[in-house]
Amino acid sequence: MPDTTYQRLYNVLRERIHSGEYLPGQRLLNERELSERFGVSRITTRHALMLLQRDGYVERRPRCGTVVRPLPPRKIPIVDGDFAGAVQTEAKNLGRRLISRYSAEPPDYVRRALGLLKHDSCVIASREESLDSFPIALDNTFIPHEYGRKLSDSMLESVEFLALWLKAENIVLSHIRQTIEAVLPSEQIGKAFGIHATEPIMATTEVVFSTSNVAVMFIETFYRGDRWQLVSQSTAESATVTDSG
């Protein structure tokens, strides 16, 4: 489909809604004012606003104008625990950015989960995930040094990170133990997400085990739940049904 003027205006206005420049409940400029602001015709502006309304970004109210609607959370179905596959299918615009990577002793709760000795250190990586250029998740990944020898920055930034890392380190996955809970954001997380310290967010912790039943990685992830939600699904092939009759 050709990139027309009204589509470009639609993209600009949509991005300003996603970035929070235009807040829920805020009234946009009227058609004439928008046309003058962006240097386009009123027909172009009207068409762009119609697309925004069709896609649920705005509501056009009589005698009030065009008002920004609250953004519904994007739901990503995770089938059989296959996060990367679900993202590739459902969230093609997901991006992952490496914020930092360094070696240090992990916090005590991570050390206990990985079964490390007191002064053992890990490769620690912090990453940001964004959907349509809007930050939706932050994670901290802890990998004992013996399992991070071939770890690269490009690998950490890949949506297929887990599969790439397991293959590079020649680790056979046994299972992943996951915990999901609602927590209050830390100052760092609150600032990154632009939310108040009293607004709960979803947090997950995942401990990855090899077939030797050794914990080889710990990941803690903080999700902005008003922007997306993870929905767990199981296929018929993966489900085990016990007949008690």
pLDDT digits (tens, 9 = 90+) for 177-210: 888 888 888 888 888 777 777 777 888 888 999 9
Question: In angstroms, rounded to a whole number, what is the distance separating the alpha carbons of residues 70 and 242?
Answer: 44
Q: What is the mean pLDDT of residues 99-126?
A: 94
Residue 133 CA to residue 202 CA, distance in Å, equals 20
Per-residue pLDDT at 226 exceeds 70: no
Question: How does residue 84 score in pLDDT terms, banded at 50, 70 and 90?
Answer: very low
Q: What is the mean pLDDT of residues 71-80?
A: 56
- The rounded distance, in Å, linking the Cα atoms of 213 and 171 is 11
Which residues does 14 contact at the CB level (< 8 Å), separation at least 6?
52, 55, 57
Lowest mean pLDDT among 35-39, 58-62, 63-67, 228-232: 228-232
pTM exceeds 0.95: no
Question: Average pLDDT, whole number, for the chain?
Answer: 81
Tokens 């767990």 belong to: 232
Work out the average pLDDT over 90-116.
Answer: 88
Spatial distance between the Cα atoms of 68 and 24, rounded to a whole number of angstroms: 5
CA angle, 96 as apex, 126 and 112 as ends, to 5°? 35
